[in-house]
Amino acid sequence: MRPTVAPTPISRFRRLRRTPALRALAQERVLSVNDLIWPLFVRDGVAVREPIASMPGVERLSVDLIVKAAEDAAALGIPAVCLFPYTDPSKKTELCEEAWNPDNLANRAIRAIKAEVPEIAVMTDVALDPYNANGHDGLVRDGIILNDETVEALVKMALAQAESGADILGPSDMMDGRIRAMREALEAAGHKDVAIMSYAAKYASAFYGPFRDAVGASGALKGDKKTYQMNPANSDEAVRLIERDLMEGADMVMVKPGMAYLDICHRVKTEFGAPTYAYQVSGEYAMIKAAAQNGWIDGPKVMLESLMAFRRAGCDGVLTYFAPEAARAIRAGQG
């Protein structure tokens, strides 16, 4: 039962706000470098940096520079990076065969990072949209996204990533039954220690636009993703999806997007107590960056405040393009 708060002057909340020391003692949540996962975009070539116009400060990097980024992340204490490939359009097909090619961009980048920076955790994306001529996360037939056939393809993709050395698989496709299928396949193939962070509550959001630019999926997408991604109006459904994915073998769960769905993050952590993450997606990042560039907000302060909001909501960590900038700010004592 909540205790009754005494009236002023017996109770003065400002007593514990009076000095930095008192505020530190009373602080309920802490933002740490350990809470950060850095999403990275990988492309073909050597020594290639390709700015993404809709995501100021974010670049597509060739594999050699992805390794350097992982080294920088490790030096800052960031525990994990997450890879997203920008696939040559000539390799995109309706059957998405490039997704499980052992030598595709993502798998080459995994091996390169683990060879040079073995201490950092490498997370991957498991979805077909970077390889799909239709731009969808699943296989398409006659305009319909096929669930079970997609799951079979995703299992092959997951196994190829595990063979390449991935530490965490991130199924972001939202097909039914894919977590159980991946977990069973990983166990059967001897990859029992590979973790799964399921994009269990991924909404059909308008915040993803810059990301689709970054992976080259914007122009390819035919229609929308509302038949497999969640309705933004739904909360109870998210809880049911989280429960199912945990029962099917997910080690960690994710809510995506982040800032507009903090209520979902809080429900998930409160109801399940499982490791819970959020993705501060490209649109959220771009809005903060654009407003800061226009002088409308204090960018570094808003960045840290937004990340603290995830921690306050119950998240154990955040995928964020701000990861290096946030890590430096936290180390400087600004967090």
256 catalytic residue (yes or no): yes
Q: How far apart are CA 17 and CA 3, in angstroms?
A: 21
Q: Output the CA torsion 328→333→334→335 (10° steps).
A: 80
Q: Is the peptide bond before 257 cis (omega within 30 degrees of 0)?
A: yes
Q: How many CA atoms lie within 13 A of 33 on its CB side?
A: 17
- Report residue 232 as tokens: 């933004």
Q: How far apart are CA 101 and CA 143, in angstroms?
A: 25
**Given the residues 91, 92, 202, 289, the one annotated as active site:** 202
Q: What single DSSP character describes residue 3?
A: P
Of 126, 53, 129, the C-alpha closest to 86 is: 129
156 catalytic residue (yes or no): no
Q: Are 295 and 62 in contact (CB under 8 A)?
A: no
Q: Are 135 and 87 in contact (CB under 8 A)?
A: no
**Given the residues 92, 114, 225, 256, the one annotated as active site:** 256
Question: Which residues belong to the active site?
Answer: 202, 256
